[in-house]
Amino acid sequence: MSATTIQIISRSKYYNWLVKNLFSSWVNTILTVIALIFVYQVGSFFLNWAIFDADFRYNFQGELIIDRGFCSKNIMPGEYGACWAIIFARWNQFMYGLYPIEEAWRVNLIYALLPLAIIGILFDKIPFRRYFIYFTFIFPFLAYFMLYGGPGLSVVGTNKWGGLLVTLFLGVTGIGLAFPLSILLALGRRSKMPIIKSLCVVFIEFIRGVPLITLLFTANVMLPLFLPDGVNPDNLLRALVAVTLFQSAYMAEAIRGGLQAIPRGQVEAAQSLGLSYWQTTRKIVLPQALKIAIPPIVNTCIGLFKDTSLVLIIGLFDLLGIGRAALADMTWTKLYYEVYVFISLVFFIFCFGMSRYSLYLEKKLKTDNS
Amino acid sequence: MTKIKSLFISLVLTLGVSTAIAGSHGSTHDLVKERGKLMCGSNTGLAGFGAPNDAGVWEGIDVDVCRAVAAAVFGDASKVEYVPTTSKVRFTVLQSGEIDMLSRNTTWTLSRDVDLGLEFVGVNYYDGQGFMVNKSLGVSSAMELDGASVCIQVGTTTEMNLADFFKANGMSYESVPVETNSEADAAYTAGRCDVYTTDASGLYASRAGYPDPSAHVVLPEIVSKEPLGPAVRHGDSEWADIVRWSLNAMIIGEELGITSANVDEMKSSKNPEVLRLLGVDAGYGAMLGLSDDWAYNILSQVGNYSESFEKHIGPNTPINIQRGLNALYKDGGILYAPPFR
């Protein structure tokens, strides 16, 4: 078969697909054309604004942009697009908050090690997985030491943390702590022991019945009033407690869904073999239940990751908060679109990654079951 | 354990907050010295008043009050940790002892001063609600605004002041309600209303961000009193005195013409008040429990009130606010500090 034939075949394949899906009738053809025009209009407008007509570090006169007055769009209104210089100028703050810049390598190191710490739990067919899992358990202590400081490293208080660091800290730690807690809650809710069961039900329903913002306020504003004088748990830590409790309640319900999908026969079979409750749970029930519950779990994780931006209202500078602080600076004020588009992009990258991972898991589990 | 904690929290929630607010916190001054740094409640970001710059350093006239107190207590204006607070949490953060003082454009009102257990120690910016219109309307006074559409934040004192003002002058207006200040700003620039009203400092800050600031004019009428100032917890007068006189020292510094540039020369001045302020005549620092050069440290490191004003919000900054009410009493304003003796 010559190259031309392949080309013709493949072209006709595309042609058939196009006819079948986009131009199958007059109505569809018109809709397709309208949609294409729309996509072209919006897409070209956005690309022109964000890339082709935009300033990055230098304006159209080739000057380094040091404040909004240098942005091409502010020199020649209406002719130029975005002014991304604010992102460059505030890059460190977006990444580390007000973390001392000479110590920022510590945050960078943790950013670099984070993928290694979670790869072991995300994928089961990687080489040396066991060592990655070990690392996963060491990582929180390492991260705490590197980020907060301790012997040999200067202490950087959490009030200096900000930007992506706070967003990731709350997201990753919240999810990581909530996971074991939520398994216990889900098991407790299905327990036959009345006290444990009612405690879990009350906890889950209370937390789920309250908006995260209320929990954050409670943790941030109410808690210190009830504690003895001088005992002020760290602001970020309080937010983390609220986020963790919130996430564990939601995740517990997702896991309970998985538990309920396990046929009763499985448990009975395990019991007839003489396995104890914990053996049954650990070896028979949970592995199957978690598999089933993975898509809803990832779903709540994505939700939580975005919800972390609520900590802005208790005065923590997460990614969104640091963006708003940048807009409050006279040097850069009014560059709303640039800041919000950038923040959306960062959130999108993480949430889209999680959603892709969830799809990957679903596919993988499908083949396992068939 | 977390379950118990959350149960506990919900229990106390039902019992009510007011009973739980703890009273005494010990001497704030001692706590601050022991800690080695001042915890100062700041804004989460308000141009000219308090916001981190590109290098992450906090700047603004509210921030300068924090720096002045740190200079007085430690002799080092940089020994401040800023705790960003939103308008919703600012008072509880102060009550709970998480911060030593609050300096974040907070209006001094009776209920806040008395009922919330705070103590306002002075005013570092006299604000008031104003109106901004496009110059092309040809309006030069708020009395000409009959029938205008006004962008207004719902549920604020601003909204009530607006209604009062128009009613008192027998005028009508059409309100364009919006949720936040930035939304009001956006609605005004999009031409959805003729008039944008909020605190005058906010109007100036917004205007500074417009592509063509000179096309908008802030009308001369100010229809409410919004004295903004630093606050401390009620019940620790010693600490309140330190914060109050740190602010006063900046104002007196301006009265006496002492700037960060000439403060060393002024030490050999012949004016007895200058000598008292700069600690050449000893004894005044000890009354506050501070060193004698406390005010010298403030003026050399932070500068006087005028320097702070000009640097952050004055006519040479993009915010471009005239001194107006915030000029010294002898320059036609109402800024006035009790004598230093």
B52 contacts in chain A (CB < 8 Å): 93, 98, 325, 329
Give the residue from A270, A291, A265 showing the smallest Cα distance to A281: A270
Q: Is residue A224 part of a domain?
A: yes
Residue A169 CB coordination number (10 Å): 21
Is the domain of A353 the same as that of A209? yes
Rounded Cα gap, residues B57 and A227, in angstroms: 32
Q: Is the pLDDT of residue B8 over 80?
A: no
Q: Is residue A87 part of a domain?
A: no
Tens of pLDDT, residues B74-101? 999 999 999 988 877 888 889 888 899 9
Q: Is residue B306 part of a domain?
A: yes
| Chain A (49-68) residues lying within 8 Å, Cβ to Cβ, of chain B | 68
In chain A, how many domains are there? Answer: 2
Range of the domain at A286: 162-369
Amino acid letter, residue B338: P
Q: Is the pLDDT of residue B222 over 70?
A: yes
Is the domain of B212 the same as that of B91? no
Backbone angles phi, psi at B125, to 5 degrees: -160, 120
Q: Is the pLDDT of residue B335 over 90?
A: yes
Query: Which residue positions in chain A have pLDDT lower than 50?
Result: 369-370
Pairing of strands B195-199, B129-134: antiparallel
CATH code for the domain of B57: 3.40.190.10
Is the domain of B292 the same as that of B258? yes
Torsion from C-alpha of B39, B41, B43, B47, nearest 10 degrees: -60
Is the domain of A45 the same as that of A176? no
pLDDT at A6: 59
Q: Is any Cβ of chain A less than 8 angstroms from the Cβ of B14?
A: no
Is the domain of B179 the same as that of B256? no
Compare B312 and A69 and report the one with higher pLDDT: B312
Give the residue from A231, A177, A178, A245 showing the smallest Cα distance to B9: A245
Q: Which of B44, B53, B93 sits opposite A331 (nearest CB)?
A: B53
* B44·A77 Cβ contact <8 A: no
Q: Is residue B184 part of a domain?
A: yes
pLDDT at B57: 92
Q: Is residue B337 part of a domain?
A: no
Q: How confident is the model at residue B24 (pLDDT cuts 50, 70, 90)?
A: very low
Pairing of strands B216-218, B129-134: antiparallel
Say if residues B47 and B14 touch (Cβ distance below 8 Å). Answer: no
Amino acid letter, residue A363: K
Is the domain of B175 the same as that of B133? yes
Average pLDDT over residues B296-310: 96
pLDDT at B208: 78
Q: How confident is the model at residue B11 (pLDDT cuts 50, 70, 90)?
A: very low
CATH code for the domain of A359: 1.10.3720.10
Is the domain of B242 the same as that of B258? yes
Q: Is residue B137 part of a domain?
A: yes
B43 contacts in chain A (CB < 8 Å): 328
Is the domain of B194 the same as that of B137? yes
Average pLDDT over residues B280-309: 94
Range of the domain at B140: 129-224
Compare B208 and B246 and report the one with higher pLDDT: B246
Q: Is residue A359 part of a domain?
A: yes
* B319·A225 Cβ contact <8 A: no
Q: Is residue A84 part of a domain?
A: no
Q: Is residue B5 part of a domain?
A: no
Mean pLDDT of chain B: 87
In the A/B pair of chains, how many CB contacts fall below 8 A?
130
> Which of A311, A330, A338 is the best substitution to test chain B (most B C-beta atoms within 10 A)?
A330
Say if residues B41 and B83 touch (Cβ distance below 8 Å). Answer: yes
CA-based radius of gyration for chain A: 26
Give the residue from B19, B91, B98, B52 showing the smallest Cα distance to A238: B98
For the stretch A220-249, what's the b/e string if a residue is b when 16 or more beta carbons lie within 10 angstroms of its beta carbon? bbbbbebeeeeebeebbebbbbbbbbbbbb
Q: Is residue A321 part of a domain?
A: yes
B1 contacts in chain A (CB < 8 Å): none
Q: Is residue B314 part of a domain?
A: yes
pLDDT at A186: 95
Q: What percent of chain B has pLDDT over 70?
A: 91
CA-based radius of gyration for chain B: 22
